[in-house]
């Protein structure tokens, strides 16, 4: 049984409108491509990347020093989540110089 929230497309229609289908998928729409009435493939929106420490570190490295102590709060919160890691503390040490 096919989900009613999914748009059905024949393989021919999917081929003719491929760029449009990709744009609509990026916007959140899902498709099932059929051939001779049978489902053959799905085109679905991309999954968001899982959050990780590298993305948080990249954000902090690009962060402009603040006078309100927000950066210190972020570092403190990270320490509470995973415990201080020597490697991460060395890379983030420069932030403390601006507090």
Statement: residue 94 has pLDDT above 60: no
Nearest to 42 by CA among 29, 61, 27, 59: 29
**Domain boundaries, given as residue ranges, for the chain:** 7-43, 53-96
Contacts made by residues 22-31, CB under 8 angstroms, sequence distance 24+: 30/3, 30/5, 30/6, 31/6, 31/7
Tens-digit pLDDT profile for residues 29-77: 999 999 999 999 999 999 887 778 888 788 778 877 666 777 778 777 7
Confidence at residue 19, expressed as pLDDT on a 0 to 100 scale:
95
Check residue 65 and give its pLDDT.
67
- Architecture of domain 7-43 in this structure: 3-Layer(aba) Sandwich (3.40)
Measured in degrees and rounded to the nearest 5, phi and psi for residue 41 equal: -160, 165
């Amino acid at each position: 049984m096919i989900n009613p929230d999914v748009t059905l497309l024949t393989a021919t229609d999917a081929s003719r409108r491929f760029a449009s289908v990709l744009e609509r998928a990026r916007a959140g729409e899902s498709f099932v491509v059929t051939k001779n009435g049978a489902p053959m493939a799905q085109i679905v929106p991309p999954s968001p990347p899982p959050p990780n420490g590298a993305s948080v570190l990249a954000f902090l490295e690009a962060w402009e020093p603040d006078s309100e102590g927000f950066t210190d709060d972020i570092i403190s919160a990270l320490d509470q989540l995973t415990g201080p890691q020597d490697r991460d503390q060395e890379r983030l040490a420069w932030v403390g110089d601006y507090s």
